[in-house]
Amino acid sequence: MVRDGTSLARRLWLLAAQAIAVAAGLLIAWRAFGPAPAAPARTEVVALRDAPSEASALRGSEARLEAGFWGAARKAAASVVNVYTRTAPPRRLPEWLRPYGEPDGAVAQGASSLGSGVIVAEQGYILTNNHVIEGADDIAVMLPGGKVAEARIVGTDPETDLAVLRVDARGLQPITFADPESVQVGDIVLAVGDPFGVGQTVTQGIVSATGRNRLGINTYENFIQTDAAINPGNSGGALVDTAGHLVGINTAIYSRFLSAWPGT
């Protein structure tokens, strides 16, 4: 037996109309008696960029080695800034308290230091070393392209020697974060920063060791040791892999003569 098409279509139409009416009624009741929608929270979402998976990162690694590291250097350089700090000059001392040999009328000037930082979020958040900005009265950041912006401290953690700054600027390029577990001894890395205030510089080396601690530099230590050249002014700058992904923050120089000397 085959059901008549006209009667079947009519029954299906009636069932559909009933279902739509019931659904509409439930929706009206929910809007009338249901809970009021929550007001949107006024919070700022800061998204950090993670590097792609290891499988995709491995693809093209041979091409990067053959072509050099200019791609990784250019990518990282767009996220590395120069950090300038200034402390207010001390009050002028009376004549009888001045150090012997100081010229008459000399006034001590405010100290100015130079370090580096890494843009980690497009809202203007910059990661650097705490010792770069510690005790500073004024902080300025030179962004890629040469624009200078005033920076304010968002938070500091002296125990790990890290600090977060923020600048009001648009069009920033945040760096991507490498998987911490992907860093291996023997990996090629690039150090990006502003050593000696000569301008942004890139040096190349390998990961010599990981998990270095008990160096007496910070309370909590988990350093990556590298033979990439790190000089004063590199502190707070980026250590990146051959894809330009951040693997660490350049913090200190460790040598026979300088011991654990901060990179600034």
Q: Which residues are catalytic?
A: 131, 161, 235
d(CA 144, CA 46): 21
DSSP for 41-72, written as a single string = P------PEEPPPHHHHHTTHHHHHHH-SHHH
> What is the DSSP-derived secondary structure letter of residue 258?
T
Torsion angle (degrees, nearest 10) of CA 16, 20, 23, 28: -170
Q: Report CA-CA distances (Å) from 148 to 73, 117, 198.
A: 22, 13, 16
8 A C-beta contact, residue 191 and residue 238: yes
Q: What are phi and psi of 62, to 5 degrees?
A: -65, -40
d(CA 152, CA 140): 9
242: how many CB neighbours lie within 10 A of its CB?
Answer: 20
Closest CA to 51 of 144, 180, 172, 164: 180
Closest CA to 213 of 252, 241, 239, 179: 252
8 A C-beta contact, residue 124 and residue 228: no
Cβ-proximal residues to 92 (8 Å cutoff; 6+ apart), any chain: 107, 108
